[in-house]
Structure 1
Amino acid sequence: MSEEIERYLRAGTRENTRRSYRAAIEHFEVSWGGFLPATSDAIVRYLVDHAGKLSQNTLRLRLAALAQWHVSQGFPDPTKTPVVRQVLKGIRTLHPQQEKQAEPLQLRELERCVAWLERQSQEARESGDYGLLLRCQRDRALLLMGFWRAFRSDELCRLQVEHIQAQAGEGMRIFLPRSKADRDSLGVTHSAPALARLCPVQAYLDWITTAGIAYGPVFRGIDRWGRLAESALHPNSLIPLLRGILSGAGLPAELYSSHSLRRGFATWATRSGWDQKSLMSYVGWKDGKSALRYVEAGTFFPGGFRQLPAE
C-alpha cells in the first residue's frame, strides 16, 4: 500500500477510532497471544476467554478492529462467520450487562457550576490572577457551548475561531468540518441562541476577548503561569476538567463525564416539550436509539416543539 493511499485511509478514520483499534489489535496479539491473520475459531476462543470480563461494548470494538485489520490487509473477515455471531449472542444471554451512563448535567447543576465560575472570575480580577481568570472564562464558555449545542468532547476540542460567527444578543453559527454523525465529512453548520441567562454566545465572546484569540482552536490549555497554549485541549482532558468544576461547585463530580453535557441537554429538551424528531435534528442523531440512550431514564418524548428559551 502506497504512503499516499495510507494517508487518505487515515484521514477517513477518526483519530480516537484509530487509537482504539491499535489498542485492540495489540491486546489480541500481545496480551492474549493471538496470531494475525486469525481464523474464526481463534476469534471465538478470544471472545470466550474474555466473556464476563470485558464489557460487551469493548468486545464489539475489539471485533470491529479485527475486522478492519483483515479487510485492510486483503484477508477474509473471520468475525462475520455464523459461529462468531452465535457466540456473541450467547455472551449477551449468559452475561447480561446494564449499560453504564454518565449522569446528565441538569440545568440547575449547570447554573450552579456557572455561578461558581463567575465568582472565581470576580476574585481573579480583584486579585490580579490572570491565569485563574482565563481558566474560569474558558471553562464557562466550554460548559455553556457544550450544553446548549450538545457537543461531544472531540467536537468541542475541534472548534476553531475562524469557523464561528457570534453576535452578542443575537446568536452564533458554528461550522464543524467533520464530526461523528457527518459520515461523508461534508461539514455541518450549527446555530446556538443568545439567552438572557446561561448564554453560550456571551460566554464565548467573553472568553476569546479575554484570551485575545483571533484564530485557531477555541479551547486551549493554560499553564500555571497563565500562558495560553497554541494547540487545542485533548478530548481526554475534558473529564478531569469538568469534574474539577463540579467539585468546586460542591457537586458529586464522580457521577459525571464529558457525555453529561450532551445527556443533560437531551433531558432538558425532552422535558421542555421537544419531540424526538426535533431533538434528533438539533443534536445530529440519525436514529431514535441514540436519542433514547442519551435521555434520562423515565423521561419521555411528549408532543410539540419549543425553541430554546429567550430567558
Structure 2
Amino acid sequence: MGESARQLAVPLDEVLDAELVEDDGPAGTELVRTGKDRHLSPGTVAAIAASVPDSTRRAYGADREAFTAWCAEEDRTPLPATAETMAEYVRHLTVTPRPRTGRPAAPSTIERAMSAVTTWHEDEGKPRPSMRGARAVLNAYKDRLARSSDPAATARQATPAQPQQLRAMLAGVDRATLAGKRNAALVLVGFATAARVSELVAANRVDVVEAEHGWDVHLYRGKVRKHTTTALLYGTDPATCPVRALRAYLEALTAAGRTEGPVFLRVDRWDRLAPPLTRHGRPIGDPAGRLTAEAAADVVERLAVAAGLAGAWSGHSLRRGFATAARAAGHDPLEISRQGGWADGSRVLARYMADVDRVKNSPLVGIGL
C-alpha cells in the first residue's frame, strides 16, 4: 500500500458498511492475484480519506505521533507493538500530566489513543496487539478516579440549553444589529432542528424554504449520512420563536445584498458582513464568508457566559437541550429522533432522554412515600 494510503488513519469499520470476505475459489484451487489486486488508485485513496471527519483524522494522527515518540524514548517498537508495550503506554498516560491541563489524560482520551494505535496496525497490515493488559490498567485507573470522586471519572458532556436557558442567553442580544439577528437565529434554529453546529453552518439559502407552518430546513446529517427536512414552527414566545428569528435575519441579509450562498455568515463587531480574514498575510476562511463550526460553537458559549449561566457550554448544548426539553414535554422518542436526525436506536439520544426519564418515570413516583 502506498504512503498516501498508510497515512489515512481510517479504521475499516468507519469506512465499510459490510464485511469484505476473501473468495478462495473452489476447494483445492489456489487463488492467483495480479499486482493490482492490492493497489489503491489516488482517487480511491482520496475518497476513503474524505469519508472520515477531519477532526477524527487529526486526533488519530496526533495520538499515533505521541505513541511513536514515547516508544522512541522508551526504546520500544511502535509497530507492531507488543501487549506489554501497550500496557506500559496506557499506564504512562494515566500518570503523566498533560501540558495543556497539568493532569493525566481522561479515560475517554486514553480510549481514543488505544483505538488509534490498534487501528494503525490494521492499516499497516500488522496483527493487532493484545489489549488485555492495557484494558486492565485503564479499568484500574477508572476505579481510582471514581473512588476519589475525581471529575475526570465521568465523561464531560455539554450542558443542555433548554428554553429557560435560551431566553437568558438571548436577553442580552441586540437584535437591532446584523450580528444580533444572526446569533439569535443560529441559537434558535440550531435548537429547533437539533443540529450539530457543523450541519447548521453547512446550510445554504436554498436549504431554507418558507412554508405555511413557518420554515422547512433541509440539512445533511453527517453522522448518519442522510438529508432530513425539519419543520420549524412558530413559538409561543416571540423572543424564542425560531421562525421569527430566522425571518428577521434572512431579511437583513437580503437587504445587505446577500440572497444566496451560506445562511450563517461571518459578521464583525462593526456589522460588516463576511469581512476578509488573513493569517500571515494570506487569506483564510471560506471566501463566501461561511461561519465555521468552531465559530458557531463559540457564539453559544459566549452567550451562555454573558448570561451568567454555569455549566459546560458548547455548540452541542443546543442539540442536547432539544432532546432533553422534548422528552420532558412528553414527546415520543421516535419523533425526537426524526427531528434531530439521530440514528435509529441511538445510545447517545437514549442517554439524553434518560436524564429526564430517571425522574419522570422513577419507580418512586406514586408509591406513597
- Rounded Cα–Cα distance in structure 1 between residues aligned with 2:245 and 2:47: 37
Query: 2:325 — aligned with what?
Result: 268
User: Contact 1:173 / 1:190 at 8 angstroms: preserved in 2?
Assistant: yes
Q: For the structure 1 residues 82 and 253, does the alpha-carbon distance in structure 2 shift closer, same or farther, using more than 3 Å as the test?
A: closer
Query: 1:309 — aligned with what?
Result: none
Q: Secondary structure at the match of 2:127?
A: coil
Query: 1:192 — aligned with what?
Result: 232
- Rounded Cα–Cα distance in structure 1 between residues aligned with 2:333 and 2:226: 24
User: Contact 2:86 / 2:131 at 8 angstroms: preserved in 1?
Assistant: no
User: Contact 2:323 / 2:353 at 8 angstroms: preserved in 1?
Assistant: yes
Query: 2:196 — aligned with what?
Result: 152
Structure 1 gaps, min length 5 = 123-132, 304-311
Query: 2:118 — aligned with what?
Result: 67
Select the residue among 87, 92, 104 that pairs with 2:142.
92
Select the structure that is richer in helix: 1
Give 1:71 shift: 2.1
Q: Secondary structure at the match of 1:20?
A: helix
Greater CA radius of gyration, 1 or 2?
2
Query: 1:15 — aligned with what?
Result: 54
- Rounded Cα–Cα distance in structure 1 between residues aligned with 2:350 and 2:80: 36
Give 1:149 shift: 1.5
Q: For the structure 1 residues 285 and 226, does the alpha-carbon distance in structure 2 shift closer, same or farther, using more than 3 Å as the test?
A: same
User: Contact 2:79 / 2:121 at 8 angstroms: preserved in 1?
Assistant: yes
User: Contact 1:102 / 1:257 at 8 angstroms: preserved in 2?
Assistant: yes
- Greater RCO (CA < 8 Å, at least 6 residues apart): 1
Q: For the structure 1 residues 148 and 9, does the alpha-carbon distance in structure 2 shift closer, same or farther, using more than 3 Å as the test?
A: same
Give 1:141 shift: 0.6
Query: 1:164 — aligned with what?
Result: 208
Give 1:260 shift: 1.6
Query: 2:347 — aligned with what?
Result: 289
Q: For the structure 1 residues 31 and 146, does the alpha-carbon distance in structure 2 shift closer, same or farther, using more than 3 Å as the test?
A: farther
The number of residues matched between the two structures is 285
- Give TM-score scaled by structure 1 length: 0.79
Query: 1:241 — aligned with what?
Result: 299
Q: Which whole-Å deviations, capped at 9, do the CAs of 1:159-206 have from their partners, x for residues lacking one?
A: 222222233x513333333412x1xx3433333323343222332222
- Rounded Cα–Cα distance in structure 1 between residues aligned with 2:348 and 2:124: 32
Answer with 18-27 or 290-299: which moved more: 290-299
Q: Secondary structure at the match of 1:220?
A: coil
Give 1:11 shift: 1.2
Give 1:296 shift: 7.6
Q: For the structure 1 residues 19 and 55, does the alpha-carbon distance in structure 2 shift closer, same or farther, using more than 3 Å as the test?
A: same
Give 1:8 shift: 0.6
Give 1:135 shift: 0.8
Query: 1:219 — aligned with what?
Result: 264
- Rounded Cα–Cα distance in structure 2 between residues aligned with 1:285 and 1:29: 36
Give 1:285 shift: 4.2
- Give TM-score scaled by structure 2 length: 0.68
Q: For the structure 1 residues 252 and 16, does the alpha-carbon distance in structure 2 shift closer, same or farther, using more than 3 Å as the test?
A: same
Q: Secondary structure at the match of 1:121?
A: coil
- Rounded Cα–Cα distance in structure 2 between residues aligned with 1:31 and 1:176: 42
- Rounded Cα–Cα distance in structure 1 between residues aligned with 2:126 and 2:210: 50
- Rounded Cα–Cα distance in structure 1 between residues aligned with 2:298 and 2:128: 38
- Rounded Cα–Cα distance in structure 1 between residues aligned with 2:350 and 2:123: 34
Structure 1 residues 126-137: aligned runs within 5 Å: 133-137=177-181
Q: Secondary structure at the match of 1:228?
A: coil
Structure 1 residues 32-111: aligned runs within 5 Å: 33=72, 35-39=77-81, 40-51=83-94, 53-78=104-129, 81-96=131-146, 97-111=153-167
The AA in structure 2 aligned to 1:107 is: P
Note the aligned Cα RMSD (angstroms): 2.8
- Rounded Cα–Cα distance in structure 2 between residues aligned with 1:75 and 1:44: 18
- Rounded Cα–Cα distance in structure 2 between residues aligned with 1:64 and 1:233: 32
Select the residue among 94, 102, 112 that pairs with 2:168.
112
Structure 2 gaps, min length 5 = 3-40, 96-103, 147-152, 275-287, 362-369
Q: For the structure 1 residues 278 and 64, does the alpha-carbon distance in structure 2 shift closer, same or farther, using more than 3 Å as the test?
A: same
Q: For the structure 1 residues 282 and 177, does the alpha-carbon distance in structure 2 shift closer, same or farther, using more than 3 Å as the test?
A: closer
Q: Secondary structure at the match of 2:299?
A: helix
The AA in structure 1 aligned to 2:190 is: G
- Rounded Cα–Cα distance in structure 1 between residues aligned with 2:77 and 2:263: 44
Q: Secondary structure at the match of 1:188?
A: strand
Q: Secondary structure at the match of 1:222?
A: coil
User: Contact 1:137 / 1:203 at 8 angstroms: preserved in 2?
Assistant: yes
Q: For the structure 1 residues 72 and 201, does the alpha-carbon distance in structure 2 shift closer, same or farther, using more than 3 Å as the test?
A: farther
Give 1:143 shift: 0.5
